[in-house]
Structure 1
Amino acid sequence: MTSLTIPAGMPQYDDVPRFDVAAVRADFPILDREVNGHPLVYLDSANTSHKPRQVLDVLRGHYERHNANVSRSVHTLGTEATEAYEGARAKIAAFVNAPSVDEVVFTKNSTEAINLVAYAFSNASLRADADPRFRLGPGDEIVISEMEHHSNIVPWQLLCERTGATLRWFPVTEHGRLDESGLDDLVTERTKLVSLVHMSNILGTVNATSRITQRVREVGALLLLDCSQSVPHLPMDVVDYDVDFIVFTGHKMCGPTGVGVLWGRSELLAAMPPVLGGGSMIETVSMARSTFAAPPARFEAGTPPIAEAVALGAAVDYLTGIGMRAIQWHEKELTAYALDALATVPGLRIFGPATPVGRGGTISFALGDVHPHDVGQVLDSLGVQVRVGHHCAKPVCTRFGVPAMTRASFYLYTTTEEIDALVAGLEQVRKVFE
């Protein structure tokens, strides 16, 4: 059983999957340390998650026993490295229910994955024989939202500048939800791509996509979901969500930094031109011209993040062993507990949904007139680690009229005691600045 006390008003189901949070915490060596003489309270998992021993052991073991390059050697180490690398691809494909393992492209992070799609559009737009779904020009439109991370804004701004296409966006309501009231006017026959965050990294909002997906299909556009904050925290099924692309990143899901994933439908990846040229992504090369490998190799030029991908496969094993539905429910209970607890802090303003319905374990807030940097410094002096700033989502801060926010974010190893420590720390902040 978890150590959670289910808050009043939360449904209590006997069939909800549970796990032992204390046993999970024992898998994470970093959680044993102190910060400034206090036990570490890590509430910054939306920024990067910690790594369990099971992942660290695989990463170290790969370098110690199987280190070699992939897909280009016939010797034993090269074969072992290739099998481990492609084995990780298969694990990740199964994790998101991809119909084919070849639909999983390794990148260095979500940002690179989004840019890969954007530059594929850009390259296709230069060729008259390119698939028309990827050709952009004046009159075409790309639709995003006001709650996006910068990595799902800037690539599309640059793409529109290169092609003459127009960028449009869904606004955000006062409650931190997507405003879909203008859906039919926003997503039209001119729309070539809709690219949305699945779970906001700053508001915690989990966007329901069914109406948008239906409209995207009606107008013949493509749909990309930025799942950086959702794949680590809840079950993902790309078939059920009826999307064309998703992106996510290893370091937010108990894996290492330096590896991410682009999943795309097979026939779309096959229609996309390459973005990076070099080794491993070719079919043939002559001095006059080159032809290119089928996906996913077409999009993995050069030496890939081999050990990182293998360790990400181990992270998938770890999360699957605990159960994504159990992790999702654990965080839902934590979020309900935290929303109630933070409501007791005088002068505290929460941004985003006020209930745990349709939101994840990420809560951003302001504490009166105290600057978030000051909040973060006082909390750090007490061992409580939160993130402060605009969280690479500056348009959201502008939308709510603040220069920055303080953000606490939870994961499978977070406890209610840590949320209590946050609330106690905020009381100390109030005393310092009152």
Structure 2
Amino acid sequence: MTLDGGCSAGFTNSLEQFLNKYVEAFRKTHETFLLDDHSAWKEKIVQNISGVTFRQLEVFLDTCISRYHSKKIEVGTAIGIIGAQSICEPATHMTLKTFHFAGVASMNITLGVPRIKEILDAVKKIRTPVIFATLECETNVKFARLVASRIEKTNLGSVAESIKIVMTTRSASIVVTLDMAMIQDAHLCIDANVVKESILQTRGIKLKQEHVKVLDVRKLEVVPEEADRSRLHFRLHNLKRMLPNVIVRGINTVQRVVINEVKEEKEDNKYKLLAEGTRILAVMGTEGIDGCKTTSNDVFEVQRTLGIEAARNCIIGEIKSTMKSHGMSIDDQHMIFIGDVMTYMGEVLGFTRFGAKKMEKGVLALASFEMPADHLFNGGVNGRVESVRGVSESIILGLPIQIGTGMFKVRTKVSSGLGQLTGSGPPHSDVQLPYGPTGTTFPT
């Protein structure tokens, strides 16, 4: 038995990855073995492959492929119900409030039932948005610290040694002195010129080029614009209050960046960045970040930045990682089905009353979910037609559900007596028995 019998690409790749990982000597020839006839290999007298005989490997592959074909879902199976039960039943064993501590600085990431609820309800503003960034050089910790300093938001108050008001008989100003030793230790490329540009670009301060003077590399002077002398004292103290909040380096929506160390058994330790905040596009464009491997747990931000297909993969990956953190293993097909249902309309729709309205559901399906009176009234006023194709509609109307045996209709030949009793139809006319959703019919 070979893989050319309807096996999916995912199953083929997973089987090949398993062989590459555990059968080192089989690495170069596994494609030929899987696609060619086994008899060609027997002629080559392959006696032993990494401690496993050829016959054992052959039986193992045949068992994997035969079990794959035996586990295929039959046509008419209620995969929606199976997928919902497969995810929601293990979710009842989760804790109601769980936080995962990632990295050295213990970053909180929402997990458990609250995280599953955020994903399925398509919450636009999640509790703990985190961007998982991959470095171009993953094994250098100094490089990781340098890139982290470029992403993390740094305020002027955290790098300034002092911010003082200096008043003389002729002038009044604010002198900002930078702590260059701390800036060098934190790998921040900041000097007085960088601080000047940041002050001028900050909204609310309203200063011009001539109002900010660079005295040297570590010191600059801020002179408020000319105004009424009675308001000068108020203006100085207002500037002193606003200057420490000026962002001089990093992304303004990223509150903190944690360097997470991933330990490898036979390789060097790898480092990844966890950015607490939003704006994944700005993180992907940062020098030193591999944008192709950078992701976020915010589904809506991924949709706005990378598209609906990336949002679908994000939903699948977040459900999988949440379940895995609690030691639960669920088949990927169930999570793929959830991701498809939430994104097939071209936007992310949650399983709520607002998302159900946009999924092109019937009136009875919406009424069986939430707010039945409103949906039935709106359907009656607007004259909507119910096609009765779903499970909920069929149960409400008492009709056979169109899954499994309810998908097909049975026709049989009846005697002429039945046709004469009904008063219609020639002898041996076709009659549709009441096994389908339309009931018994007698064609004329």
TM-score (norm 2): 0.23
Structure with higher helix content: 2
TM-score (norm 1): 0.23
**Larger Cα Rg: Structure 1 or Structure 2?**
2
